């Protein structure tokens, strides 16, 4: 009897771009990909903290380099990426929110979150996919979305709208990119303990609400996201595209 062989989760010889890589989920994704054998280009707006992160990754004997990149500056971002070698993997982790009741949303807050979470993500994904197509190479593009792309959230009307939008363009791009061998998916975390979410975790009422909604009874850690990123980047997910991997502790089940 010939047994099937488990596809490899290794990423040796692959080149990955991770945005928002100086901290939080982006840093976790960068470490995970590097541990799986990829050379990781870690991107963020400011070099100080980014260089510290890259040095820490290299100190583990892993392959990484820093790239100063402001994804909200579409023209500059596109120009920088044209000068880069093709990326086999993209983890689009740069993002943010300005949370408030819907009746208090300002146009400035709406534009800021939409430009960062949707417009920047869209055109960064486009730029990486263009180079893959030109090179005739397959690839795996991963957008860090949110459980809030599948439900609503208190004081998060704008944030939810942007993450629903990310899910939409991911599915549409999957239809277009599939014939090119380029896969694109989202990872949808629940509340993860990061510097960006610290204010939420400082609010006892919010913590109680979060713990009540998460069926596994605990909030997320960055480590909870790392395996999902490696899976989607690897040959183990070679038939997975246009879908959402929910890492939400059961938040969205009911």
* pLDDT of res. 254: 80
The residue with greater pLDDT, 103 or 52, is 52
Tell me if residue 159 is catalytic: yes
* Closest by CA position to 131, among listed 172, 68, 171, 177: 177
Reported as a single tens digit per residue, the pLDDT across 122-156 is: 999 999 999 999 999 999 999 999 998 999 988 88
Reported as a single tens digit per residue, the pLDDT across 53-109 is: 999 999 999 999 999 999 999 999 999 999 999 999 999 998 888 888 888 889 999
* pLDDT of res. 96: 82
DSSP for 139-199, written as a single string: EEEEEE--GGGTS--TT-HHHHHHHHHHHHHHHHHHHHHGGGTEEEEEEEE-SB-SGGGHH
Reported as a single tens digit per residue, the pLDDT across 100-125 is: 888 888 999 999 999 999 999 999 99
Q: 109-117 long-range CB contacts below 8 Å, 24 or more apart?
A: 109/158, 110/158, 113/158, 113/159, 113/162, 114/158, 114/161, 114/162, 114/165, 115/72, 116/71, 116/72, 117/159, 117/162, 117/163, 117/165, 117/166
Instruction: Answer whether residue 197 shows pLDDT above 80.
Output: no
Average pLDDT estimate for 209-229: 92
* pLDDT of res. 196: 74
* pLDDT of res. 81: 94
Average pLDDT estimate for 162-191: 97
User: Out of 1-5, 157-161, 195-199, 224-228, which region has the weakest mean confidence (pLDDT)?
Assistant: 195-199
> In percent, how much of the chain has pLDDT > 70?
100
Average pLDDT estimate for 208-215: 88
Q: In what order do the strands lie in the sheet with 182-189?
A: 64-68, 39-44, 15-19, 89-92, 139-144, 182-189, 244-247
User: Distance (Å, rounded) from C-alpha 245 to C-alpha 148?
Assistant: 13
Strands 64-68 and 244-247, by their bridges, are unpaired
- Looking at 87, 122, 159, 177, which residue is catalytic? 159
Q: List domains and CATH numbers for the chain.
A: 15-193+221-248 (3.40.50.720)
pTM over 0.75: yes
């Amino acid at each position: 009897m010939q047994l099937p062989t488990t596809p490899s989760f290794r990423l040796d010889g692959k080149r990955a771009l991770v945005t928002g890589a100086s901290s939080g989920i982006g840093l976790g994704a960068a470490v995970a990909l590097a541990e799986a054998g990829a050379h990781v280009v870690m991107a963020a707006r400011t070099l100080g903290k980014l260089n510290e992160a890259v040095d820490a990754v290299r100190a583990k004997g892993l392959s990484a380099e820093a790239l100063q990149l402001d994804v909200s500056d579409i023209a500059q971002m596109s120009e920088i990426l044209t000068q880069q070698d093709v990326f086999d993997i993209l983890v689009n982790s740069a993002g943010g929110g300005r949370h408030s009741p819907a009746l208090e949303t300002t146009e400035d807050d709406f534009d800021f979150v939409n430009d960062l979470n949707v417009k920047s993500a869209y055109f960064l994904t486009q730029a990486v996919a263009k180079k893959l197509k030109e090179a005739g190479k397959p690839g795996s593009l991963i957008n860090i979305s949110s459980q809030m792309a599948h439900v609503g959230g208190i004081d998060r009307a704008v944030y939810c709208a942007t993450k629903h939008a990310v899910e939409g363009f991911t599915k549409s791009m999957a239809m277009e990119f599939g014939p090119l061998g380029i896969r694109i998916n989202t990872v949808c975390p629940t509340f993860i303990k990061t510097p960006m979410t610290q204010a939420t975790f400082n609010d006892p009422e919010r913590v109680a609400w979060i713990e009540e909604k998460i069926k596994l009874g605990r909030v997320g850690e960055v480590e909870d996201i790392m395996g999902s990123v490696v899976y989607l980047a690897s040959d183990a997910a070679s038939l997975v595209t246009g879908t959402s991997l929910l890492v939400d502790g059961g938040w969205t089940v009911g």
